[in-house]
């Protein structure tokens, strides 16, 4: 049984008014689930990357806004909606770049507004069901992304991936890791190359752990080794996730994705961005309009080391994401199909009837 079958990274424990999350900061050394019951705890889990991955963040926020308004005592829709908005706005401020966070919270608010004439008790049940639907739809979307990505790949290929866009970053299967899991089930025997993804090491801590647990042939490398891998002829395609896709196809993903894509372009290796349609932001014209989250300097200098690996007082620049220009992307693989250039035209087509 693979990790896809036995790891549930996000679970609503409605009977105990709790959200149960796999704490990804402890992997691969410890598999621990944490129980969250307050908006502050959920905010902290998102902010400190206990839960990470754009789809998983969205699911967490949807469950969270339901749980944190579940026990609001009022018969007034206006009072309930005001409390809902407080929680929604608070959770929305936890991280700025992943569009799924805002998409999920906005969808929950739109559902609330659509049932404003119903009794509050019934509204709460509808909100719970909507949060569950967001989670279930994500699993189905990830499965479709995996199937669509597999159509671009051949058995035995060498595949390079960056960061973690796997089952622990989604409801199930993952986005960029979905074809690895599905391919393993079907005997594709891919050779996976996973870069560490510095400075938070999501590649070595999470993706390497996840793919190894599924029986995939995995080789771990440092981020700065990708050019040599490609020069060796070991890489046939690069598969990466996305936290936000602009209307023109520019894509924000974990820092280092743009570098990988530039090198891949040099060697003529395709770069496939894998993500659900929920990460496509048609209200964001280009990558220049994407806010890039800056994180603590300590993540570079000391967080992962027993002793500091930089001088005291040194300045550090620590963006969590970078933007890959659309001209470096071969195709964007979604749950609704594969999108090729020109991305501004074809993304608009695929998103025409997406709510």
* pLDDT tens-digit map of 174-189: 999 999 999 999 999 9
126 and 157 co-located in one domain: no
Residue 224 inside a domain? The answer is yes
Provide the token pair at 68.
């944190």
What is d(CA 115, CA 26) in angstroms, rounded to the nearest whole number? 40
Residue 184 has what pLDDT? 96
Residue 158 inside a domain? The answer is yes
185 and 327 co-located in one domain: yes
DSSP 199-237: TTTHIIIIIHHHHHHTT-EEEEE-GGGHHHHHHTT--SE
Any idea what DSSP says for residue 154?
Answer: -
Q: At residue 1, does pLDDT exceed 60?
A: no
pTM (whole model) above 0.85: yes
Residue 55 has what pLDDT? 92
Among the three residues 142, 171, 192, which one is the final residue of a domain in this structure? 142
Residue 8 has what pLDDT? 86
308 and 243 co-located in one domain: yes
* Range in 92-106, 149-163, 338-352 the model is least confident about: 92-106
42 and 61 co-located in one domain: yes
Which 3 state secondary structure label does DSSP give 239? strand
Q: At residue 306, does pLDDT exceed 90?
A: no
Residue 158 has what pLDDT? 98
- The mean pLDDT value for 223-248 works out to 97
Residue 353 has what pLDDT? 77
Residue 4 has what pLDDT? 66
Q: What is the mean pLDDT of the chain?
A: 95
- The mean pLDDT value for 100-105 works out to 94
Among the three residues 142, 159, 181, which one is the final residue of a domain in this structure? 142
295 and 322 co-located in one domain: yes
Q: What is the dihedral of CA 222, 225, 229, 231, to 10 degrees?
A: 180
**Active site amino acids:** 243
Indicate the pLDDT class of residue 2, thresholds 50, 70 and 90: low
What is d(CA 328, CA 140) in angstroms, rounded to the nearest whole number? 28
340 and 319 co-located in one domain: yes
84 and 102 co-located in one domain: yes
Calculate what percentage of the chain has a pLDDT beyond 70.
Answer: 98
- The mean pLDDT value for 194-216 works out to 95
Closest CA to 240 of 332, 111, 347, 319: 332
Residue 274 has what pLDDT? 98
Residue 46 inside a domain? The answer is yes
Residue 14 has what pLDDT? 97
Residue 327 has what pLDDT? 98
Q: At residue 341, does pLDDT exceed 90?
A: yes
DSSP 124-151: HHHHHHHHHHHHHHHHHHHHHHHHHHHT
- The mean pLDDT value for 349-354 works out to 88
* Domain range enclosing 84: 3-142
Report the domain count for the chain. Answer: 2
What is d(CA 160, CA 118) in angstroms, rounded to the nearest whole number? 51
- The mean pLDDT value for 190-202 works out to 96
Residue 7 has what pLDDT? 79
Q: At residue 244, does pLDDT exceed 60?
A: yes
Closest CA to 179 of 21, 75, 331, 302: 331
Q: At residue 354, does pLDDT exceed 80?
A: no
- The mean pLDDT value for 235-239 works out to 98
38 and 86 co-located in one domain: yes
H or E segment to which residue 35 belongs:
strand 33-36
What is d(CA 114, CA 296) in angstroms, rounded to the nearest whole number? 40
137 and 178 co-located in one domain: no
Contact 274, 129 (CB under 8 A): no
Indicate the pLDDT class of residue 96, thresholds 50, 70 and 90: confident
Residue 355 inside a domain? The answer is no
Q: At residue 355, does pLDDT exceed 70?
A: no
Q: At residue 269, does pLDDT exceed 90?
A: yes
Indicate the pLDDT class of residue 6, thresholds 50, 70 and 90: confident
291 and 213 co-located in one domain: yes
Which 3 state secondary structure label does DSSP give 33? strand
- The mean pLDDT value for 261-270 works out to 98
Q: Residue 311 contacts by C-beta under 8 Å, 6 or more apart in sequence?
A: none
Q: At residue 315, does pLDDT exceed 90?
A: yes
196 and 71 co-located in one domain: no
Provide the token pair at 60.
């967490």
Residue 329 inside a domain? The answer is yes
Closest CA to 297 of 179, 199, 216, 174: 199
Residue 281 has what pLDDT? 95
Indicate the pLDDT class of residue 82, thresholds 50, 70 and 90: very high
């Amino acid at each position: 049984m693979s990790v896809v079958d036995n790891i549930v990274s996000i679970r609503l424990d409605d009977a105990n008014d709790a959200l149960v999350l796999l704490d990804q900061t402890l992997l691969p050394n410890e598999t621990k689930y944490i129980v969250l019951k307050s908006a502050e705890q959920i905010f902290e889990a998102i902010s400190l990357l206990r839960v990470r991955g754009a789809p998983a963040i969205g699911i967490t926020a949807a469950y969270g806004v339901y749980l944190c308004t579940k026990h609001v005592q009022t018969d007034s829709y206006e009072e309930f909606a005001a409390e809902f908005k407080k929680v929604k706005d608070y959770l929305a401020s936890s991280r700025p770049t992943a569009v799924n966070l805002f998409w999920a919270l906005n969808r929950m608010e739109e559902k609330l507004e659509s049932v404003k004439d119903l009794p509050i008790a019934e509204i709460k049940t509808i909100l719970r069901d909507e949060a569950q639907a967001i989670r279930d739809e994500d699993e189905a979307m990830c499965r479709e992304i995996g199937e669509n990505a597999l159509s671009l790949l051949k058995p035995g290929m060498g595949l390079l991936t960056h960061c973690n866009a796997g089952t622990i970053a989604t409801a199930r299967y993952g986005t960029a890791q979905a074809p690895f899991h599905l391919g393993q089930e079907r005997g594709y025997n891919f050779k996976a190359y996973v870069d560490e993804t510095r400075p938070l090491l999501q590649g070595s801590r999470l993706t390497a752990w996840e793919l190894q647990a599924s029986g995939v042939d995995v080789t771990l490398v440092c981020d700065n080794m990708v050019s040599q891998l490609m020069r060796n002829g070991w890489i046939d395609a690069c598969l990466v996730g996305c936290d936000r896709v602009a209307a023109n196809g520019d894509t924000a993903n974990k820092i280092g994705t743009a570098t990988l894509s530039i090198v891949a372009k040099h060697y003529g290796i395709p770069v496939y961005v894998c993500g659900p349609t929920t990460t496509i932001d048609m209200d964001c014209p280009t990558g220049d309009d994407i806010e890039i989250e800056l994180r603590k300097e300590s993540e570079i200098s000391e967080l992962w080391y027993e002793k500091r690996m930089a001088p005291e007082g040194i300045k550090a620049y620590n963006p969590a994401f970078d933007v890959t220009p659309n001209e470096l992307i071969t195709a964007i693989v979604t749950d609704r199909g594969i999108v090729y250039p020109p991305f501004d035209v074809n993304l608009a087509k695929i998103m025409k009837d997406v709510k």
